[in-house]
């Protein structure tokens, strides 16, 4: 068996945007044994640090929405359009339910269509059952590896309600995919989906009047709310992933959000908030509220996050995790 590449070698190749380093890096990241897990953490920490300082032209875009809204079909259309514009694309398809469709994991169908024999695309499917370390950690790890090599990283997650909250910290632009008849305005509002997304899509525009109605409902709902804190107002774009209508308009909306973030300086701030949310979630997942209390609770965590402005998410999880383990191992002070 060939020897596994060292962290140093992998890092160098990833930063040279060498596609052949992606698979071994993702394998390392998935390896739960102690030594590979340590190596993976070092790789991710150094990679994330390098990406902080790198070309801000790279971007992560999330696609979320109810089951069957057409996210995978849309993703496929976006990948093909981006490829025709000369951009390379990494895809992470997350399936929190581990549901299989026709024997194939979500994302596999898409992979077959748009990435066969194209070195400019890389697909990674991820299911909850594969992830002892938590889906959020695995997803962030894969996105970090892919971002090193590809121009655009697309993340697909099934979501109604909370799971947008999970993917939002990971991406620069969150896109919500609705489908016609997906419900009335009240339902959108109840599910709390009007606040987080940066771009809304009404897919299946080929279904005519029903799609128009959903478009109007969403626009009305968004008109009621305030714009995002940085002044961005989320647009609603009608598309048909099936026949390609509106894909260019969607890419323009995504590019506009990207430009807005660059101009407003919001992108770095958002990545920082994403880092903080990731660290909080990962520690909670690993150590529970007991562990968080051992660290000194929420105020202590906040102070650490603020104090370590330049530390990476992966680095912080490692460092704070060690502290929690030490604190938990210590005998409790005896009461007088
Ligand atoms: N008419 C029409 N059907 C579409 C369109 N996009 C997707 N579909 C169909 O909608 C169904 C669901 O599409 P998917 O792309 O698998 O949806 P998804 O959101 O990825 O679904 P999950 O991953 O299972 O949550 C499929 O039968 C698609 O063919 C569209 O633009 N128009
Ligand atoms: Mg899908």
pLDDT tens figures, 167-208 = 888 999 999 999 998 666 666 676 677 788 999 999 999 998
The two structure tokens encoding residue 57: 């032209």
- Measured by CA distance, the residue closest to atom 30 of ligand 1 is 204
Which pLDDT score, from 0 to 100, does residue 31 have?
87
Cα–Cα distance, 335 to 175 (Å, whole number)? 54
Confirm or reject: Cβ of 206 under 6 Å from ligand 1: yes
Is the pLDDT at 333 greater than 80, yes or no? Answer: no
On whether the CB atoms of residues 229 and 199 are closer than 8 A, the answer is no
What mean pLDDT do residues 213-221 have? Answer: 88
Spacing, Cα 77 to ligand 2 middle (Å): 13
CATH (residue range 56-264) = 3.40.50.300
Spacing, Cα 74 to ligand 2 middle (Å): 9
> Which of these, 219, 178, 220, 172, lies nearest to 198 by C-alpha position?
172
Cβ partners under 8 Å of residue 101, min gap 6: 109
Cα–Cα distance, 56 to 42 (Å, whole number)? 23
- The model's confidence at residue 2, banded by pLDDT at 50, 70 and 90, is low
Which pLDDT score, from 0 to 100, does residue 335 have?
64
On whether the CB atoms of residues 24 and 4 are closer than 8 A, the answer is yes
| Domain ranges within the chain, ordered by starting residue | 1-54, 56-264, 268-329
Domain 1-54, CATH among 2.60.40, 3.30.70, 3.90.550, 1.20.5: 1.20.5
Which pLDDT score, from 0 to 100, does residue 136 have?
80
Which pLDDT score, from 0 to 100, does residue 125 have?
86
Alpha-carbon 263 to chain mean position = 22
Taking CA atoms, 34 is separated from 39, 40, 41, 315, in Å, by 9, 10, 11, 16
Cα–Cα distance, 72 to 77 (Å, whole number)? 9
- The model's confidence at residue 229, banded by pLDDT at 50, 70 and 90, is confident
Confirm or reject: Cβ of 208 under 6 Å from ligand 1: no
Cβ partners under 8 Å of residue 11, min gap 6: 43, 46, 47, 50
């Amino acid at each position: 068996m060939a020897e596994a590449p060292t962290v140093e070698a992998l890092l160098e190749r990833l930063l040279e945007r060498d596609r052949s380093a992606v698979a071994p890096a993702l394998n390392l990241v998935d390896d739960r044994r102690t030594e590979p897990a340590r190596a993976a953490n070092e790789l991710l920490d150094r990679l994330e640090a390098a990406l902080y300082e790198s070309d801000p032209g790279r971007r992560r875009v999330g696609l979320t929405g109810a089951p069957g809204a057409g996210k995978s079909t849309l993703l496929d259309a976006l990948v093909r359009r981006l490829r025709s514009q000369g951009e390379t694309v990494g895809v992470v398809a997350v399936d929190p339910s581990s549901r299989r469709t026709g024997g194939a994991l979500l994302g596999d169908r898409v992979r077959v269509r748009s990435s066969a024999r194209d070195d400019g695309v890389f697909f990674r499917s991820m299911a909850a059952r594969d992830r002892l370390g938590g889906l959020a950690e695995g997803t962030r790890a894969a996105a970090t590896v892919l971002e090193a090599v590809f121009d655009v990283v697309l993340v697909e997650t099934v979501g109604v309600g909370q799971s947008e909250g999970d993917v939002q910290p990971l991406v620069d632009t969150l896109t919500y995919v609705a489908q016609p008849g997906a419900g009335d305005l009240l339902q959108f509002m109840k599910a709390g989906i009007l606040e987080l997304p940066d771009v809304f899509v009404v897919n299946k525009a080929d279904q005519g009047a029903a799609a128009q109605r959903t478009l109007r409902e969403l626009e009305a709902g968004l008109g009621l709310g305030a714009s995002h804190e940085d002044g961005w107002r989320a647009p609603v774009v009608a598309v048909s992933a099936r026949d390609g209508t509106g894909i260019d308009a969607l890419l323009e909306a995504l590019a506009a959000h990207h430009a807005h973030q660059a101009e407003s300086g919001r992108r770095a701030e958002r990545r920082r908030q994403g880092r903080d949310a990731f660290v909080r979630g990962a520690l909670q997942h690993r150590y529970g509220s007991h562990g968080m209390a051992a660290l000194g609770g929420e105020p202590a965590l906040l102070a650490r996050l603020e104090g370590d402005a330049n530390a990476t998410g992966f680095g912080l999880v490692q460092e704070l995790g060690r502290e929690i383990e030490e604190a938990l191992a210590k005998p409790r002070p005896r009461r007088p």
